[in-house]
Amino acid sequence: MNWRKLNRWIHRELGFLFFGMTIIYGISGIALNHHAARHWDPGLITRSTTLQYPGTLSKSDVNRSSIEKILEITGEKENYKQYYFPSQDHIIIYLKGGHITVNMQTGSMQLTKVRNRPVFNELNYLHYNKPKKLWTWFSDLYAFGLILIAISGLFLIKGKKGIGGRGGILTIVGILIPLVFLIIYLWL
Amino acid sequence: MQKSILWVFIALLAVSCNQTTKKEGLTTEADKTEKIVTATINELLASPADYQDKEVAISGMVSHVCRHGGQKCFLVAEDGETQIRIVPGGEIDEFKVEMEGSTIAFKGIFRVLNAEQTEEHVEDHESKEHHDVEQSHSTAEKAEYFVEAIEFKDITP
């Protein structure tokens, strides 16, 4: 078999085989990038609602009935777990799937509900290699496949648009960009 | 071609199954030899040197789980104020946010950082601008002591 034909075969077959994996790692990669930059949490959806307790409270007022009243107002009676005082003026009531923070001085209550973000939660599970075991091997195989796809991609086209022409310039630019970031942010 | 792919998957499956068996064997062996010191959080913090690098068993309510990868959580002591930082170790990858408000029994190694390590830890924490306002667990977050959890169990009444 001609080496160019073999190269095209490798590029095409691995491209098909690892299409799903590339989408998984691509989407979760964007999510994790922004997670690292602390823009948002790709794994969790957090929703907050502000409500008002009728009146104010002091630490000594807090008992079963005041907690039940708060749960009733917030509609979270079924989800109650435990409560504690993070400070002199606040109570946190923990719920299944969230918590209520009560400012005892003002009676202001913030109900925070937390749930897993669909799709991203699953993609991140795979990206972080949480399944381990066989997934480690398959994702290693994918990583190796990706290297082969990249290398074989360099030699797909001959001529001006290939590695000897415009393709080569783009390849160099693509290598230089991360290098510039390393020079500016890490090495200097 | 099809045969080759099938063989690759069979080989991967075999390696994976073998790893699981080995891991189970190690856990059983470790269970036989360990010596655990049961202590309260306040006891640990009152005389950290006595417990340093020892395997301890503590329990309490989880007040907060770090949202950035679940790489730490905070346990409230019996006095309702003191907190201790717990980090995942052993087979634990992360702590789930669902643990907040649950009473959890942890088994792990009590670690105490030296002055230099503590300074590094605080600097690292502050550089990440973790919370905008002071939290009830802020002291424990910057403290030199923590527990590296090996196992945990939800014991919420």
- Tell me the domain boundaries of chain A: 1-43+119-156, 44-116, 158-188
Closest Cβ opposite residue B12 in set A81, A96, A137: A137
The minimum CA-CA distance between B136 and chain A, rounded to whole Å, is 5
Estimate the crossing angle of helix A3-17 against helix A133-154, to 10 degrees. Answer: 140
Contacts with A128 from chain B: Cβ below 8 Å: 93
Closest Cα in chain B, distance from residue A134 (Å): 5
Nearest neighbour of B136 by CB, restricted to A35, A82, A86: A86
Cβ–Cβ gap A81/B102 under 8 Å: yes
Q: What is the pLDDT of residues A171-187, one digit of tens each?
A: 999 999 999 999 999 99
| Mean pLDDT to the nearest integer, B4-32 | 48
Backbone CA torsion sign across B64, B53, B124, A32: negative
Is B12 in Cβ contact with A138 (below 8 Å)? yes
Which residues numbered 92-151 in B keep a CB inside 8 Å of some CB on A?
93, 97-98, 100-103, 128-129, 135-136
Q: Is the pLDDT of residue B90 over 50?
A: yes
Rounded to a whole number of angstroms, the distance from the CA of A161 to the nearest CA of chain B is: 32
Nearest-by-CA chain B residue for A140? B12
- Segment B12-25 shows an average pLDDT of 47
CB pairs under 8 A between A and B: 51
DSSP state, B101? T
Q: Which of A84, A97, A134 sits opposite B80 (nearest CB)?
A: A84
Categorize the per-residue pLDDT at B89 as very low, low, confident or very high, splitting at 50, 70 and 90.
Answer: very high
**Choice among A10-24, A118-132, A147-161 with the minimum mean pLDDT:** A118-132
Q: How far is B77 from chain A (nearest CA, A)?
A: 11
Mean of per-residue pLDDT scores for chain A? 93
Q: Residue A98: which of A40, A38, A50, A47 has the closest Cα? A: A47
Q: Per the structure block, which two tokens stand in for B86? A: 């717990």
Cβ neighbourhood burial of A95 (10 Å; 0-12, 13-18, 19+): buried
Half-sphere exposure in the Cβ direction for A44 (13 Å, CA)? 22
The confidence score (pLDDT) of residue B17 equals 46
Name the residue in chain A with its Cα closest to that of B128: A38
Average pLDDT over residues B97-122: 91
Helix, strand or coil, per DSSP, at residue B32? helix
A155: pLDDT confidence band, cut at 50, 70 and 90? very high
pLDDT band at B25; cut points 50, 70, 90: very low
Residue of A nearest to B93 (CA): A130
Residues B52-72 have a mean pLDDT of: 91
- Cα separation, B93 vs A128, whole angstroms: 10
Residue type at position B65: V
Max avg pLDDT among A36-45, B24-33, B48-57: B48-57
B103 vs B20, higher pLDDT: B103
pLDDT confidence tier of residue B29, bands split at 50, 70 and 90: very low
ipTM over 0.85: no
Residues B15-37 have a mean pLDDT of 51
| A contact residues 43-102, partner B, Cβ 8 Å cutoff | 44, 81-82, 84-87, 92, 94-97, 99
Q: Residue B9 pLDDT more than 70?
A: no
Residue B127 has pLDDT above 80, yes or no: no
* Banded pLDDT at B34 (limits 50, 70, 90): low
**Is B40 within 8 Å of chain A by CB?**
no
What's the pLDDT tens digit per position in A86-130?
998 999 999 999 999 999 999 999 999 999 999 998 998 999 898
Q: A35 in helix, strand or coil?
A: helix
Range among A172-176, B63-67, B69-73 with highest mean pLDDT value = A172-176
User: How far apart (Å, rounded) are the C-alpha atoms in residues B151 and B147?
Assistant: 11
Judged against a pLDDT cut of 50, whether residue A55 lies above it is answered with yes
